[in-house]
Structure 1
Amino acid sequence: MTNKNKVSKRIIEQFLFPSVTLNRTKLQKTVTGKTIVITGASYGIGEQLALLFSTYNVKLILIARTAEKLNAIADIVKENGSLCNIIVADFYQETETERAIKELFTLTDTIDIFISNAGKSIMRSLENSLTRYHDFTRTNSLNYLAPVNLILATTPLIKATKGQIINISAINVLLLPAPKWAAYQASKTAFDQWFRCNLTEWKIMKIQAKTIYLPLVNTKMIAPNEKYKNFPAMQPEQAAFRIAKLIYSSKSYDKPWWLLFLQTSSFFGKYIWEKISFLYLKKQNEKSI
C-alpha cells in the first residue's frame, strides 16, 4: 500500500470510526471492585479490555486458548493493581467449555460483568466448503454454543449481583446474508437472536444485557484474509473504549453511526444486493477459469 493510500485509509477510518472519549469517573464507579469475566481475552479486543479495566482495581477472570499470552496479560494486570486469574480453554470442544465453567466456579462465586468476546471469523465459498463440514461445527461451537453454555451457567451469579452481560457482536447480523460468509454469519446471528430472546427475562432478573455491533476490527482474527489488508478497520483499543462506555451508560446497545444507512439499504434493496452479489461472483468465477 502506497503512502497516499495509507493516508486515505486513515482519513476514512477517522470518519467511519470517530474517537470515543471515556468518562473515567463513571467507568471507575461502575467497575471498581467488580469481578469481570472476559472470554477471548488473549488477543485483540479482549486483551485491550483487560488492560483498560486493570487500572481500576478489579478482579479479572480471563478465558482463552493461549496460556502463554494469558499469563503475560495477567502479569500486567497485577502490576496495574488488580487481581487476575486465567482459564485456558478451547471452546471448539464442548468438554473444554464444561471444564472452563467448573474452573470458573472454583475461582469465584460472584460475577458482576460477563463479556462474551470469543469468536471465530471465516470466509469461504460454498464450493470450497463441500468437504469442510468441520468449518461449520467449529464456528458454531465458538460463536454460538459455547457462549450460550457459559451464560446459562453464570446467569444465577450475575443475577445475584444485578450485573451485566455484554455481547460482542458484529454488524453482519443486522444486514442481508452475504455470499461466502455462511458459517460466520449464521453462527453470529444465531447467538444474537438467542441473546435478544432473553432480554426481557434478564430484565426481570435485574440483569443488564447489552450488545455492541462492531464493524471490521483490526485483530488477529481477520489477519488470514488478505483482502482485509486494505479495508478500513476499527482498532482494538477503539473497540474496547466503546465497550467500556456501553458498560457505564444506560444504553442497551451500541453500533456505528452509519449502520442505519446500511440497514435501510438492506431492507429496501434486497433485490439489488442479490443482483450485485450474483454478478460479482459470476465475474470472480470467470476469472478463475
Structure 2
Amino acid sequence: MSRRIMIGGIALGVPDFRPHAKRFVDGAARGVHQRLMPGAALRRRVNGKVVLITGASSGIGAGVAHKLAEAGATVLLTARSADALEDLAEKIRDNGGEAVAYRADIADLDDCDRLCQKVLEDHGRVDILINNAGRSIRRSVVYSLDRFHDYQRTMQLNYFGAIRLAMNLIPAMKAQGDGHIINVTTVGVFNGVPRFSAYLGSKCALEGWTMAAQNELLHTGISFTLMNYPLVRTPMIAPTKIYDYFPAMSPEKAVDWMCEAIVTRPKRKVTAFGLFSQGMYTVLPKTAELIVNTGYQIVPEFFGKEKKGSEGKSSLASDETGSNVQPLRRRK
C-alpha cells in the first residue's frame, strides 16, 4: 500500500524508488549475461515461466515458441489456425518442451477475454505476453478513401486485440510483482512508410499505449518492450511481391532479437536504420519527407503485387476462424 503525505490539505503519494534501483541493477546484470552467454541467459530468464504468444502458428511466433520451450518455458500458442497450432505444439512436445495450443481470434475482443480467462484458469499466471499477431495492408490513402474498413481491421487486431490481452493479464502480473509485455511494432513508425497508413496508424496507437502504460506501471515490476522490427522475410510479406527485391531481416535473426529482448527487457529494440530515420525526421523533417516521397512516386501502386487481394496479411489473417477458446486436444 502506498504511503501518503498531506500538503495543503491534498493527499500526495510518496514515490518508492526502490523498484527503479532494482531495475537498473538487474538490467545491467542481464545485459552482461546476455552478451557473454546468451543461451544460458535465456534459460535463466524463462525456465519455469509461462509465456503466451499470439500469431504463433508460423513466422516469428513459431520460431520464438521453439526457442523458449527449449529454454524451459511453458509456451501457450494462440492463433486462428487450429491445425498449424497443434502441429507446432506437437513438435515442441516431441522435443521435450511444454506447449499448449489455444485457438482464438485476437481481433474478437470477446475471444481475447475468453482466452485470458482460460489461460489463467489452466496455468494460474502469464509471466510474459508476446503480442506478435498482426495484420498489414499495403494501399495508398487515395486508394483507401472508400475502404475505411481497412483501418478498422488493422486497429481491431493490431491495437484493440493486443491491449485487450494485456489489460486482462496486468492485474495478475501486478499481484505477483513481475511481468513482461512485449508488443511487436515496426520501424516504419519512424518514417511514415508510404502505402501503409492503416498499418502504421494501428502500430502508432499501440506504441502510445505501451509508453503510457510503462510510465504508469514501472514501479509495480511490470516491464513493457516495443519491438520495432524492420522488414522480416515471413509469410506476412509474401503477398506483396515487390518485397522480394527489398533487403529484409531473416526469420532466424528476428527470433534471436525477440529472445534477447526477453532477457534484457529494453524499453525499445530498434535497428540502427530505425534510429537514423527517427533522427532524420526530428532534425531534418522536410528532407526526410522529400526522400520518402520520391521513393513513393517512383514505385507504382500495384507493382509486383499478386492479383488476388492487395493486402499483405499475417498467417493469422488468413486462417480459419475459431470463436471458442479451448486447449486443443493432443492427437493420438
Q: For this structure pair, what is the TM-score category when the shorter chain's length is used for normalisation?
A: 0.7 to 0.9
107-116 or 137-146: which moved more? 107-116
* Structure 2 equivalent of residue 112 of structure 1: 127
Distance in 1 (alpha carbons) for counterparts of 2:100 and 2:298: 51
Deviation at 1:217, TM superposition (A): 0.5
**DSSP-derived class of the 2:278 partner:** helix
Structure 1 residues 286 and 206, CA, compared in 2 at 3 Å: closer, same or farther? closer
TM-score by length of 2: 0.75
CA offsets 1:138-165 (integer angstroms, 9 cap, x no match): 1001110001110000012222151211
CA contact (8 A) 2:55 2:134 kept: yes
Deviation at 1:92, TM superposition (A): 2.6
TM-score by length of 1: 0.85
* Structure 1 equivalent of residue 110 of structure 2: 95
**Alignment partner for residue 129 of structure 1, among 141, 144, 148?**
144
CA offsets 1:152-211 (integer angstroms, 9 cap, x no match): 0001222215121112221112x1323321100110000011000111222111112222
| 1:145-164 → structure 2 map (5 Å cutoff) | 145-159=160-174, 160=176, 162-164=178-180
* Structure 2 equivalent of residue 165 of structure 1: 181
CA contact (8 A) 2:140 2:301 kept: no
46-55 or 102-111: which moved more? 102-111
Distance in 1 (alpha carbons) for counterparts of 2:293 and 2:46: 48
| 1:68-79 → structure 2 map (5 Å cutoff) | 68-79=83-94
* Structure 2 equivalent of residue 248 of structure 1: 263
In structure 2, what residue type is equivalent to 1:259? G
Structure 1 residues 59 and 263, CA, compared in 2 at 3 Å: closer, same or farther? same
CA contact (8 A) 2:54 2:130 kept: yes
* Structure 2 equivalent of residue 13 of structure 1: none
Distance in 1 (alpha carbons) for counterparts of 2:80 and 2:280: 38
Question: Unpaired segments of 5 or more residues in structure 1?
Answer: 1-19
* Structure 2 equivalent of residue 264 of structure 1: 279
In structure 2, what residue type is equivalent to 1:59? T
Distance in 1 (alpha carbons) for counterparts of 2:46 and 2:202: 30
Distance in 2 (alpha carbons) for counterparts of 1:285 and 1:56: 45
Distance in 2 (alpha carbons) for counterparts of 1:107 and 1:265: 48
Question: Unpaired segments of 5 or more residues in structure 2?
Answer: 1-34, 304-332
Relative to its length, the structure with more helix (as a share) is 1
Is 1:227 aligned to residue 242 of structure 2?
A: yes
Percent identity between the two aligned chains: 31
CA RMSD of aligned residues (A): 2.3
CA contact (8 A) 1:22 1:241 kept: no
* Structure 2 equivalent of residue 42 of structure 1: 57
**DSSP-derived class of the 1:204 partner:** helix
Deviation at 1:91, TM superposition (A): 2.2
Distance in 2 (alpha carbons) for counterparts of 1:172 and 1:23: 28
Q: Give the structure with higher Rg (CA).
A: 2
CA contact (8 A) 2:113 2:168 kept: no
CA contact (8 A) 1:112 1:161 kept: no
Distance in 2 (alpha carbons) for counterparts of 1:66 and 1:286: 31
CA contact (8 A) 1:32 1:57 kept: yes
CA contact (8 A) 2:191 2:277 kept: no
**DSSP-derived class of the 1:131 partner:** coil
**DSSP-derived class of the 1:124 partner:** coil
In structure 2, what residue type is equivalent to 1:63? T
CA contact (8 A) 1:38 1:117 kept: yes
CA offsets 1:61-116 (integer angstroms, 9 cap, x no match): 11111111100110011112222211112223333323323332332221111111
Structure 1 residues 60 and 161, CA, compared in 2 at 3 Å: closer, same or farther? farther
254-263 or 57-66: which moved more? 254-263
Aligned residues, how many? Answer: 268
**Alignment partner for residue 193 of structure 1, among 187, 208, 233?**
208
